[in-house]
Amino acid sequence: MRLTQIKIGDLITPNNVFLAPLAGYTNAVFREMCYNLGAGLTYTEMVSAKGLCYGSKKTEELLYVTPTYGGIKACQIFGNDPDCMRAACQSEALAPFDIIDINMGCPVPKIYKNGEGSELLNNLELASKIISECKKSGKIITVKCRIGMDDYNCITVKVAKMCEDSGADMLTIHGRPRNRIYSGDVNMREIAAAKNAVKIPVIANGGIFTVNDAEKLMVKTGADGVMIARGALFNPWIFAAITGRDAGDKKAAVLNQIAETRRIMGERFACVYMRKMAGFYIKGTKGATSMRLKLINCKTTAEIEAAVQGMEF
């Protein structure tokens, strides 16, 4: 894949292979792990602008960044109130972040029915106001969106132009409509059309699980870079494979992830989270089914560590 730096506002990323914001997964430890493996930019999981405006401790905990993280700090927020979104960007909680991404792509019914995420694509006037208000904060503002509500109502070019005209510094496009959630083929033509319609960087997202997937998406869309979502959950080492870095000792990396997650987020969270993550990592390996059953029955992170010692990644 063609590797290149991306200029976002006045910042320059080390490469054009990014980690997507993933609710419940892209915590500080996982972001640092992916950055060390070669990810040029990583985003926090999406956080509520309202939660930030009301000083929610639980919301602010999602923004933790490890002291050793060496990359550009980027956060994703969601909401539908322009004033609240601007206030969130100006909040003390987001002061450490260089880039703020606006979520206009989440298809989850709870978010959509609340007028947030991908529902904003049904009201581009409001979406534009949100972007322009967030820009008043002085932050670099990016947007992540979908191509429309369904395959018959794609508005990708219209959305891309709106984002650029409203002041967005970069646009990431998930090449599926809202109604297909994460299933079906990625519509590369829509991403390509949007890329050709604007001057700001356009990042292609959707369906990347291998190096070849990333290469194909870049070639077919002409995008400036790619953003990896679920593919990174199953294989964070994909960043090393695409960028040509040494993946290192995978087992040691997983054990370190367990230890750091436990240290920062506590035993209970680490146990539940790492049971899932370790199960993702062994997908497709010999004996994966029986090893997942073993992980499910782990009651402590020490038991997960013992199970990981017997796994092949």
Cα radius of gyration rounded to whole Å, the chain: 19
CA–CA gap between residue 23 and residue 108 (Å, rounded): 11
**DSSP tag of 141:** E
Question: Measured in whole angstroms, how far is the alpha carbon of residue 257 from the centre of its chain?
Answer: 18
CA distances from 197 to 132, 169, 206, 226 (A): 20, 14, 20, 18
CA distances from 252 to 231, 234, 265, 291 (A): 20, 16, 20, 18
Catalytic residue among 89, 106, 154, 271: 106
CA–CA gap between residue 175 and residue 190 (Å, rounded): 7
* Residue 28 token pair: 């500080």
Widest pairwise Cα distance in the chain: 55
- Identify whether 298 is a catalytic site residue: no
CA–CA gap between residue 139 and residue 146 (Å, rounded): 23
Helix (H) or strand (E) holding 295: helix 288-296
DSSP labels for 232-267?
A: HHH-TTHHHHHHT-----HHHHHHHHHHHHHHHH-H
Q: Report the amino acid identity of residue 114.
A: N
First to last CA, the chain: 24
CA–CA gap between residue 87 and residue 37 (Å, rounded): 34
Q: Which of 103, 96, 48, 46 is nearest to 73 (CA)?
A: 96
Which residues have a catalytic role annotated?
106
